[in-house]
Amino acid sequence: MIVLKFGGTSVADAERILGVAAIVKARAGSRPLVVVSALAGVTDLLARAVACAKAGDREGIEPLLSDLARRHRWAISGAVEPAGARHDLTLQVDGMLEDLRQLLRSVRLLGEGTPRASDTLLAFGELMSSRIVAAAFRASGLPSRWVDPREFVVTDDRHGAATADVEATGERARPLVTEALDAGEIPVVGGFVGATREGHTTTLGRGGSDTSAAVLGAALLASEIQIWTDVDGILSADPRVCPEARVCARVAFAEAAELAFYGAKVLHPAAIAPAVARGIPVRVLNSLRPQGAGTVVVAEPGEGAPPLVAVASRGGATLVRLRSRRMRIDAGFLPQALAALEAEGVVPDLVVSSEVGVAAAVAGRLDAKRLATRAGDGVEVEIHPEQGIVCIVGSGLATDGRIRGRVLAALAEHDPALVSLGGSGTSVSALVAETRLADVVRSLHRTFFEGGGG
């Protein structure tokens, strides 16, 4: 079997939901389990409603509830047929919205919402969207069965950021999912939601539907997990900076983690770790362009993998240099420098240290005077704002000295203020003036990722 997960924008409205039905139909032969997010923006609306209820703000809740009702009814009216099924589902969803209203009222009157109550409320988004998607599948001639994540996604009781137990989830999910698939029906389940062993509803944290897909894929030993979103996959550069960026066919988990750190928002590697750790490939695909092959994330780079996969970048960095006035580094200078930075509330992204000083790149700005005071008398502080980090990512950097040499030489041409190699094995990072960042990214991309290079 395979797991297909559709994010909020992929199920934003009736038209997109019917697009999802077409995608699933084309893959019906692979025994898919379908995981869906709430309709785009719905979890935010619910979170705002919960906040209003806790604050006792009755007026604030009403427009949010109307918005939720309108969005869901509109999706049903456009995606569900025949009229009888549409009518039944509308009644059911209206009933859920009424329950939601009552629960919000209780929170408001009590003036307190526990994390457990909040999870029960946030879960409504996925519990509604999944019912609509299941009904839309049937309307598209695709037999399907709605299944309730609270019955089989078993989690701990850390409400708001619960962790699922893959083994326990597998035990409960297997019979339900197998029965539906054997009956020729596609199981459809809301992501993000689970329940404790005692049956209390939990949520897996914002963006948690990817985690649901990974946990279910791992629990059911899926042959592949597909994350359907609104981008073509993981790209070889930020397309806003580098129009030549192309989709990476295959990325190793460590490479994906590195890219996420530098702001590739496609997929949070931590979310898919349970699947990758069990050797299940996770493929990212675009529901607006389903013919693309997307990017597959695998545990290890494997035979014939490209040595380099992408050039990541991020602006808004500051370079800090701390130098010992004594012209030699004292034992404990590095921890002292890091502690001074930490006390200023920053964690450096890159650090290079030598006999007489430490240079670090940090996100955001820093107050030079305050830092100097913290660092103490014997330390000279220098700050250069408006820097950008460029990072070349690829497992080949760890294994191929020739590649490493070429990357360092290419970076050196751009006169970087700092270069960091060896921190992770899968990346080399450098700091350049922010005004030059885009040019540097394009140039490195040209060298390593265009015209068969890399």
Taking the C-alpha atoms of residue 198 and residue 433, their distance in angstroms, rounded to an integer, is 55
Taking the C-alpha atoms of residue 300 and residue 333, their distance in angstroms, rounded to an integer, is 37
Q: Smallest distance from the beta carbon of 42 to ligand ASP, in angstroms?
A: 7
Cβ proximity to Mg ion: between 205 and 385 the closer is 205
Which residues of the shown chain bind Mg ion in the complex (CB under 5 A)? 8, 37
- One DSSP character per residue, 376-413 reads -TTEEEEEEEEEEEEEEE-THHHH-HHHHHHHHHHHHT
| Site residues (CB under 6 A) for ligand ASP, limited to 168-207 | 191-192, 206-207
Among the residue ranges 37-45, 295-303, 357-365, 404-412, the one whose residues contact ligand ASP (CB under 6 A): 37-45
Applying CB under 6 A, the site for ligand ASP has a residue count of 13
For residue 46, which of 113, 104, 95 has the smallest C-alpha distance?
A: 104
Give Cα 131 to chain centroid, integer Å: 24
Q: Does 387 bind ligand ASP (CB under 6 A)?
A: no
Question: Of the candidates 38, 64, 276, 310, which one interacts with ligand ASP according to CB under 6 A?
Answer: 38
Q: Smallest distance from the beta carbon of 40 to ligand ASP, in angstroms?
A: 8
Q: Which does 206 bind (CB under 5 to 8 A by kind): Mg ion, ligand ASP, none?
A: ligand ASP
| Contact criterion met (CB below 8 Å) for 72 and 58 | no
Query: The tokens 């993998």 sit on which residue?
Result: 305
Cβ proximity to Mg ion: between 100 and 227 the closer is 227
For residue 427, what is the enclosing H or E element? strand 427-433
Q: Smallest distance from the beta carbon of 288 to Mg ion, in angstroms?
A: 16
Cis peptide before 82 (omega within 30 of 0): yes
Among the residue ranges 75-83, 208-216, 307-315, 413-421, the one whose residues contact ligand ASP (CB under 6 A): 208-216
Cβ proximity to ligand ASP: between 146 and 192 the closer is 192
Q: How far apart are the first and last CA of the chain?
A: 35
Q: Smallest distance from the beta carbon of 268 to ligand ASP, in angstroms?
A: 10
45-48: long-range contacts (C-beta < 8 A, 24 or more apart)? 46/121, 46/122, 46/124, 46/125, 47/122
Provide CB contacts within 8 A for 363, sequence distance 6+.
314, 316, 317, 318, 346, 349
| Site residues (CB under 6 A) for ligand ASP, limited to 106-125 | 125
**Sheet containing strand 250-252, strands side by side:** 144-147, 186-190, 32-36, 2-6, 224-229, 282-286, 295-298, 250-252
Q: Smallest distance from the beta carbon of 211 to ligand ASP, in angstroms?
A: 8
Cβ proximity to ligand ASP: between 227 and 393 the closer is 227
Q: Which does 306 bind (CB under 5 to 8 A by kind): Mg ion, ligand ASP, none?
A: none
Cβ proximity to ligand ASP: between 129 and 420 the closer is 129
Q: Which does 192 bind (CB under 5 to 8 A by kind): ligand ASP, Mg ion, none?
A: ligand ASP
Question: Of the candidates 16, 19, 24, 43, which one interacts with ligand ASP according to CB under 6 A?
Answer: 43
| Site residues (CB under 6 A) for ligand ASP, limited to 124-163 | 125
Q: Which does 191 bind (CB under 5 to 8 A by kind): ligand ASP, Mg ion, none?
A: ligand ASP
| Contact criterion met (CB below 8 Å) for 33 and 176 | no
For residue 21, which of 311, 213, 314, 228 has the smallest C-alpha distance?
A: 228
Q: Which does 253 bind (CB under 5 to 8 A by kind): ligand ASP, Mg ion, none?
A: none
Taking the C-alpha atoms of residue 123 and residue 148, their distance in angstroms, rounded to an integer, is 11
Q: Which does 229 bind (CB under 5 to 8 A by kind): Mg ion, ligand ASP, none?
A: none
Cβ proximity to Mg ion: between 8 and 307 the closer is 8
User: What does DSSP assign to residue 330?
Assistant: P
Burial of 57 (0-12, 13-18, 19+ CB in 10 A): middle
Q: Does 429 bind ligand ASP (CB under 6 A)?
A: no
What is the binding site for ligand ASP (CB under 6 A)?
7-8, 37-38, 43, 125, 191-192, 206-210
